[in-house]
Amino acid sequence: MEATLRLAASSHRHISVPLLLRTPSQSFSPKHISTIPHRHRPASASRLSLSTYNGLHIGKSSNALPSIPSSPLLSHSQILSSIFSSDRFARISSNPKGTPLDWHFASDGEKGRGIRGLGKDGPVVTVVLLGWLGAKPKHLRRYAELYNSKGIHAVTFVASVRDVLSFDLARKLEERVVSVAHELASWVSQSEEDGRERVLIFHTFSNTGWLAYGAILDNWRGRKDLLDKIKGCVVDSGADPHIDPKVWAAGFTVALLKKRSSLVDPGEGNELDSRSSKIQEKKSSFVETLLLDGFEKLFSILLNLPNENRRLVKIISALMNDQPPCPQLYLYSTSDMVIPYQSIELFIKEQSVRGRKVSSFNFGTSPHVDHYRTFPSTYASLLQNFLEECLVMVKKP
């Protein structure tokens, strides 16, 4: 049964809010993941953590979540309601195509044929680009073009804020993720006309794309034939396994404010010399503070709903324990203000302990999901080396 939270707004309308990525229940028992405090938040801030007790579940940490009075939440719901009903929100969150995947075929051949550097007998490779929250297909186009330039086909999938926070569209989002899994399974299960194998590389962005990948893995649970087709996974600015309301609040705030958010573009003040710019900055800071506070209170409730956190933990369990035995590349930054780099490094360490072949690169100063734009040459070089590592194992027919 879909669990929702109904928030009353001043206009007497209600917002029904389910949690992202609903999946069937499964049993699992992953290793305990310790809690790492967010470096950008007070260490005393309450959070939820993964823990083990007769199977994995979400429990409250030692600094348990306090009960939240209704009046502050209602005031924040008025703010969120006004944003969600605005024309600007409709523009940034709509998906007129309504299709789960957009295909971008490389120019080396037709219908996925040809990969430069692997020879005519090499496999046909498609990279699956799973976007960050609020991303549009156009934002992933430059990544698709990068892969196309290497003779690799690309498909893109994006999720909007409204997809997650609106009851009807959240159900559609779940259906879209399942549809993506089925479409990819159908494609990769076939061979080219000349008999060449089809294989997949996943490239995820932020925790939203990473969790979408986990949902696909969970959908393919028990399908070794499909999991063996995954030859590599790139994780850009994601892989935080902790279920922290502050991190979720930051992600949703950035998705709404885009580059106006200080979490993405802190800035040095050089471009804010004019009076009007400073006023706009002050307005953005005020809205950002309200959004962060409101979303944190909202997710402190949502992430503690038994049905919803079980579904979410199940996806994280798949990412922790059930990834295929292919190379993994983690691209992150110490300066990321949305996903704590310590959490990413912990997950990398956990994957290494499990015997996975893991590599990583810390860009240091680039903002959240902005590493390619900030360091294009380094980013492209890292991908090139990683692809060669992944595909050398399937080069020969």
Four-CA torsion 264, 239, 135, 181, nearest 10 degrees: 180
**Residue 242 DSSP symbol:** S
Asked whether residue 124 is domain-assigned, the answer is yes
**Distance set, CA 306 to CA 1, 172, 295, 302, 311 (Å):** 11, 22, 19, 9, 9
The pLDDT of residue 108: 55
10-residue averages of pLDDT along the chain (397 residues): 40 40 36 40 38 30 35 45 42 43 76 51 90 92 93 90 60 79 94 89 96 94 95 97 92 85 58 43 72 91 83 92 95 96 96 96 96 97 92 64
Please state the pTM of the whole predicted model: 0.73
CA distance 380 to 13: 48
Q: Considering its fold, how many domains does the chain have in total?
A: 1
The pLDDT of residue 170: 52
Which residue, 339, 156, 321, is CA-closest to 238?
A: 339
CA distance 366 to 133: 18
Asked whether residue 308 is domain-assigned, the answer is yes
The pLDDT of residue 116: 52
The pLDDT of residue 151: 86
> Which residues face 6 on adjacent strands?
16
Asked whether residue 378 is domain-assigned, the answer is yes
The pLDDT of residue 175: 78
Asked whether residue 59 is domain-assigned, the answer is no
Asked whether residue 57 is domain-assigned, the answer is no
Which domain range does residue 370 map to?
Answer: 1-29+72-397
Asked whether residue 261 is domain-assigned, the answer is yes
Asked whether residue 182 is domain-assigned, the answer is yes
Tell me the CATH number at 197: 3.40.50.1820
Asked whether residue 50 is domain-assigned, the answer is no
The pLDDT of residue 172: 66
The pLDDT of residue 283: 53
